[in-house]
Amino acid sequence: MKIVQVNVTCGKGSTGKICLAVSQLLNQKGIENYILYSSGTTDYPQAIKYQDTPYAKRQALKSRVFGNYGFNSTRSTKKLISEIEKINPDVIHLHNIHSHNCNLEVFFKYLKTANKKVFWTFHDCWPVTGYCPNFDMVGCEKWKTECSKCVQRKEYSWFFDKSKKLHDKKKKLFSGVDMTIVTPSKWIASVVKQSFLKDYPVKVIYNGIDLDIFKPTPSDFRNKYNLEDKFIILGVAFDWSVRKGIDVFVELSKRLDQRFKIVLVGTNVNIDKQLPSNILSIHKTQNQSELAQIYSACDVFVNPTREEALGLTNIEANACGTPVITFNTGGSPECVDKDSGIVVAKNDIDAIEKQVISLCENNTFSKENCINKAKEFDKNQKFREYIDLYNC
């Protein structure tokens, strides 16, 4: 058996790391496999790059000018197909193909005649919409019937709203493929079942984390920042915005008294301008082990995300023994249970404030229970489910 995975990256970013982990597990079983990727670089011997960076940038520009997101990149898609045909795999596993790295029309016409088993992991909701990878924050449900007059169109197309046309084309192209859809959360699975793809089989495989890295890790973090006598509230993101809840932390900083200290990781100089002086801003960590040290040093991890496929940061925090408070958004609530965290209604800042104070003052959750919940997301266990899915 031969397996090919297709993704924007190899070994970088969440989807790239998933591809690499699956490939390495296949290697352990002696199964020939490759990763076809389009962005960045890697020295992984089974990775094949099929698109160059200047070309990708031109396709991104065309997409924004003409509004035809997902239907450019013809040359690189033909290269992708050529590489697949050289390998002649039994299974094609798609991941992120909406980073201006695939022409859907060219590629899915090929898949319909290729006689290959196809798996497609929906890392977000883009396959079922005209434009949007995420729609939860704006509350749009047009994707259930027909996208049109896209409220987020300007993020994807500068001049034209072609959301209806693109949605209709996806409906036509994605039908009639020997395909199983994989989702990283029950929430995305429920989206698929309400969409035009509802007749396809759907398998939920949660993303996993490395429990050898994310575990209770001692450090001098509290001493370094003079926080020995503080309750530390942590937030972690790498694209801070209202979508990730930065405004919630700003509001909490106004409400919480001097006993509490908010720490945000993954910020930058532009985000710093939005933050009050009483929030500790950490632009980036040196590595994941340093991030584990910060998780371990904190009293509570707050994730006020307003749209989320799953919420790996919740799991990372739990793995380090730190309880979680999160909005009831997307897949985020699926990462915690009653013994490892608290889920509150989306946008209910009053509830977050109340739960932060209660949790810190009463030491509500045990480290052991948090760690046990995170064990359900061991990356080796989760990604073996892909191997089982391939019937290797």
For 244-303, how does the pLDDT look when each residue is reduced to its tens digit (9 = 90+)? 999 999 999 999 999 999 999 999 999 999 999 999 999 999 899 999 999 999 999 999
Residues 225 and 201 in one domain: no
**In-domain check, residue 386:** no
Q: How far apart are CA 138 and CA 391, in angstroms?
A: 39
Domain count, the chain: 2
Residue 364 has a pLDDT of: 85
**In-domain check, residue 153:** yes
Q: Residue 194: phi, psi to the nearest 5?
A: -100, 0
Residues 55 and 133 in one domain: yes
Q: Mean pLDDT across the chain, nearest whole number?
A: 95
Boundary residue ending a domain (146, 174, 205): 205
- Look at residue 37 and tell me whether its pLDDT is greater than 80: yes
Instruction: Name the band, by pLDDT with cuts 50, 70 and 90, for residue 352.
Output: very high
Q: How far apart are CA 70 and CA 247, in angstroms?
A: 32
Concatenate the DSSP letters of all residues of 130-146 into one string.
SS-S--TTTT--GGGT-
Place of tokens 């008294």: 257
**In-domain check, residue 212:** no
Residues 168 and 108 in one domain: yes
Residue 247 has a pLDDT of: 97
Residues 248 and 183 in one domain: no
**In-domain check, residue 25:** yes
* CATH number of the domain where residue 343 is located: 3.40.50.2000
Structural domain span for residue 200: 2-205
Mapped onto helix, strand or coil, the DSSP state of residue 358 is helix
Residue 392 has a pLDDT of: 55
**In-domain check, residue 289:** yes
Boundary residue ending a domain (181, 205, 229): 205
Instruction: Name the band, by pLDDT with cuts 50, 70 and 90, for residue 363.
Output: confident
Averaged pLDDT, 199-203 = 97
Instruction: Name the band, by pLDDT with cuts 50, 70 and 90, for residue 223.
Output: very high
Cβ atoms of 323 and 345 within 8 Å: the answer is no
- Look at residue 184 and tell me whether its pLDDT is greater than 60: yes
Residues 110 and 137 in one domain: yes
**In-domain check, residue 214:** no
For residue 389 the two structure tokens come to: 């899915």
Residues 227 and 285 in one domain: yes
**In-domain check, residue 216:** no
Averaged pLDDT, 349-372 = 95
**In-domain check, residue 357:** yes
CA proximity to 237, closest of 289, 291, 159, 158: 291
Averaged pLDDT, 216-240 = 95
Residues 181 and 236 in one domain: no
Helix ranges (H only) for the chain are 13-28, 53-66, 74-87, 104-114, 163-173, 186-193, 221-224, 246-255, 269-272, 288-297, 312-319, 349-362, 367-374, 379-389
Mapped onto helix, strand or coil, the DSSP state of residue 337 is coil
The proportion of the chain whose per-residue pLDDT surpasses 70, expressed as a percent, equals 100
**Could you read off the pLDDT of 77-121 as tens digits, one per residue?**
999 999 999 999 999 999 999 999 999 999 999 999 999 999 999
**Largest distance between two CA atoms of the chain:** 65
- Look at residue 391 and tell me whether its pLDDT is greater than 90: no
Residue 280 has a pLDDT of: 97
